[in-house]
Structure 1
Amino acid sequence: MAQQKKIIRLCFALLLFITYVYAKNITVNVGGPGGVLKFDPQNVTDASQGDTIVWKFLGGNHNVVQSDGLASCDQSQTTGFFQSMTNPPTGTFQYTVQEAQGVLYYFCSFASHCQNGMWGAIYVGGTAPASLTATTASPTSTAGASAVPSQKSSAVKFVGDFKLVTSATFIVLTLIKFLF
């Protein structure tokens, strides 16, 4: 019986380890001083299932509303769409990515912000296209826009991943020591 409890504890610790290693927070800045109408970055190109997108409100009246297409200024018709308050009291809005693959689109529905280019996309599971360009605007939009994805060098990504795995390994080993 004691051996079974140890195995269950170990499995639980490994589950925590896997979740910690692979999930990350991705910050998207919203607006800014002087009436800035943008999400920065406009397109998140490296999201994975379990990651948390954190929209950080920097100034101005803004919100985050899920839509059904790139540069669309219409609220999503899908069940369970995400939507923040305008200027949340915490200064942030968070969404944990549930999808394994796909694209999540969003925009600011305040005034004419979306029509002025305040929209973005979250590419999940390696779905980002080589070139990110909206060639046509949505029916409610008046102008197209383009965005270039931010690229990280593989060396920078490796160092970040190494630090994350090292930290997670330390936590799991501490848990195992504590549990056994």
Structure 2
Amino acid sequence: MNSNHSKANFIKFNRIVSAGTATISLLFVGIGSPTLPAYAFPGECSTVNPEIARPTNVKTVRSVDLNGRIIQLRTGFLLDVSPTLQYGWARMANNQNGDHIWMDFSQDGGRTWKQCGPWTRQYSEAVTTSRDRNQVFRACGTVSINIFSRSEVKCTTWF
């Protein structure tokens, strides 16, 4: 066997393995991946569950369908917390076991955001709204399509 031919195949093999390893490494460190949200610190998300805080004047301001579940961004007043402050929260109608709901909020019009949640119930925690146009919210959710495939994620548009 020709030693030059064996050496060339060995070098070619090493280049392929090195390229594959570099590609996998880049994926793990997140180069080329979409921007991910920062998770909010506990004090940044309220601990108000709108489901039990007697909501009133509730409006669905954004919604999106996700495999038969309806992800909604809602606003309203929570009588058990403050009847004069408006709150925003996420809701998933037709939710099933394994589904998750959360709310993203941003202080710069949606360029960066923090995630409150996820929760495995129908509602996220509520956060006070603002007249500041830079403070925006959106509702997001994920559903498991089946045990053999990944989950699908959708968010409403910013409000």
| TM-score, reference length from structure 2 | 0.34
| Structure with greater strand share of residues | 2
Name which structure has the greater RCO, CA cutoff 8 Å, separation 6+. Answer: 1
Please identify the structure whose Cα radius of gyration is greater: 2
TM-score normalised over the length of structure 1 = 0.31
